[in-house]
Amino acid sequence: MAADRLPPEVLAVLARLEEAGEEGWLVGGCVRDRLLGRPVHDYDIAVSCPPARTAALFSGHELVLAGAAHGTVGVVAGGRLLELTTFRADGAYRDRRHPEQVAFLPDIDGDLARRDFTVNAMAMDRRGRLRDPYGGRKDLEARLLRAVGEPERRFSEDALRILRLARFAAKLGFSVEGETLAAALRLRRETAALSAERITAEVAGFVDGEYFSRAAGEMLGLFAGVWPALAEVPSEMLAAFARAEEPDSRLLLMARAASPGDWPAAVAAFCRRLRLPRSRERLLDEAARRLALPPSEDPPEVRRRACRFGDEATRLAFAVDRALGGPRQPEAALYERFCRTGLPRSVRELAVTGADLLAAGVPEGPAVGTLLARLLEAVIDGQCENTRPALLDRVRQEETRYG
Ligand code: ATP
Ligand code: MG
């Protein structure tokens, strides 16, 4: 691993530390990902000096001091934020309602000992020399996730590591060493006490993993502390996970496997343990409602559903149905054919707007929306062309018809 391929600002920070008689080591994900030849998104640096001295050494830079009590000083260099953290033991009991405690340590090896998996517990200096007391390099070559130290103890210290294990398996495509997996499964109940924010971050990373399809079968069970039904996922459902191609389909399948009840209820129950962004939760809910409808092979009905649910939720619902080997594929084909007609699928695509209706004398209020929806239906059913004159004509007819 050529050290000269490190970004210049990272090299400069490491050199500055050395000049000042301090140690600076790249640690964690950046070392792992560099050795794997994967893109590195952030560089974490472990340093020998306490935070006040780190801040003083880099006083010429913009600094982020919010994490200083835990040893972390953010240094903005070359447009990126580098986090410099004093060698430390862990505030391990984070999510188990114990106060967070941090002890600073004299050397890098102590700092590596607190880390979760051997491939995450390597350090590299600016010349590319590796510090690897737990055999991370060898595990990286064997594509193996193994707890640092005794797995049972490490997972009881911090149950988040159980979900991190699933996330890294899906992200890296590594297998999990036997003892590590057995301990994670034994202790999975402890994850119930984790905060919704932490669970969300790990679940989101898990379903986003490049190797999700391969990992899901073995890893879903690690989430059974949060959603007990995931302890035993039926084999036909596992096959669906292996076929699901995007994160949102995978989330919907997790919801389905996690809860009995109909689709909308399952998704609502699943989301209660998470803090997903509103827009994503809404999309999952819409897709669940779409999946709750009985399959249809009636073209007008398929067109009306397309207008009611919108493209994103409709496509997502069909993708989930496809993964499940479900009964909606003829309907999906009718929907695709409808999309190719170029007919509008939302009132926004009509050749008239609400303002046009008001100008044509429709009273302000809910009548405008109702009328737009009716016009859309008339257009997709072929009773009216999507042009301004035709639509305004239709408005006048409707007025005489309904008064
Ligand atoms: P990613 O590329 O997904 O960010 P990462 O390895 O950088 O992966 P982070 O969550 O950013 O993961 O954590 C950085 C490093 O801190 C990890 O590599 C690991 O060494 C250590 N670490 C983070 N969280 C924990 C934890 N809960 N228990 C033990 N070590 C942890
Ligand atoms: Mg990271």
For ligand 1, atom 1: residue with the closest CA: 29
Nearest to 320 by CA among 329, 330, 311: 329
Count the Cβ atoms, other than its own, within 10 Å of residue 113.
15
- For residue 7, what are the contacts with CB-CB under 8 A and spacing of at least 6? 43, 78, 80
CA 155–ligand 2 middle distance (angstroms)? 19
C-alpha 35/C-alpha 329 separation (Å) is: 44
The half-sphere exposure of 386 on its side-chain side, counting CA atoms within 13 A, is: 20
Q: In this structure, what token pair is assigned to residue 224? A: 């059974």
pLDDT of residue 97: 47
Q: Are 89 and 114 in contact (CB under 8 A)?
A: yes
Ligand showing the shortest atom-to-Cα distance for residue 38: 1
C-alpha 63/C-alpha 84 separation (Å) is: 10
Q: Are 32 and 45 in contact (CB under 8 A)?
A: no
C-alpha 282/C-alpha 259 separation (Å) is: 18
Ligand showing the shortest atom-to-Cα distance for residue 167: 1
pLDDT of residue 14: 98
For ligand 1, atom 30: residue with the closest CA: 115
Ligand 1 pocket, residues with Cβ under 6 angstroms: 28-29, 44, 115-116, 120-121, 158, 160-161
3-state secondary structure of 100: coil
Q: Which atom of ligand 1 is nearest to the CA of 167?
A: 3
For ligand 1, atom 21: residue with the closest CA: 115
For ligand 1, atom 4: residue with the closest CA: 29
- For residue 201, what are the contacts with CB-CB under 8 A and spacing of at least 6? none
Q: Are 63 and 74 in contact (CB under 8 A)?
A: yes
- Convert the pLDDT of each residue in 240-265 to its tens digit: 999 999 999 999 999 999 998 899 99
Q: Which atom of ligand 1 is nearest to the CA of 161?
A: 27
pLDDT of residue 333: 97
For ligand 1, atom 17: residue with the closest CA: 28
C-alpha 116/C-alpha 102 separation (Å) is: 16
C-alpha 398/C-alpha 83 separation (Å) is: 65
CA 228–ligand 1 middle distance (angstroms)? 26
pLDDT of residue 2: 46
Nearest to 287 by CA among 321, 246, 244: 321
pLDDT tens, N- to C-terminus, the chain (403 residues)? 444 489 999 999 999 999 999 999 999 999 999 999 999 989 999 999 999 999 999 999 999 999 999 999 999 999 999 999 999 997 655 544 454 668 999 999 999 999 999 999 999 999 999 999 999 999 999 999 999 999 999 999 999 999 999 999 999 999 999 999 999 999 999 999 999 999 999 999 999 999 999 999 999 999 999 999 999 999 999 999 999 999 999 999 999 999 988 999 999 999 999 999 999 999 999 999 999 999 999 999 999 999 999 999 999 999 999 999 999 999 999 999 999 999 999 999 999 999 999 999 999 999 999 999 999 999 999 999 999 999 999 999 877 765 5
CA 28–ligand 1 middle distance (angstroms)? 6
Taking the whole predicted model, whether its pTM rises above 0.95 is answered as: no
pLDDT of residue 3: 46
CA 41–ligand 2 middle distance (angstroms)? 7
CA 84–ligand 2 middle distance (angstroms)? 13
Q: Is 361 exposed, middle or buried (0-12, 13-18, 19+ CB in 10 A)?
A: exposed
Can you list the alpha helix ranges (DSSP code H) found in 244-298?
247-258, 263-272, 278-292
Q: Which atom of ligand 1 is nearest to the CA of 171?
A: 3
Q: In this structure, what token pair is assigned to residue 329? A: 């594929």
Ligand showing the shortest atom-to-Cα distance for residue 26: 1
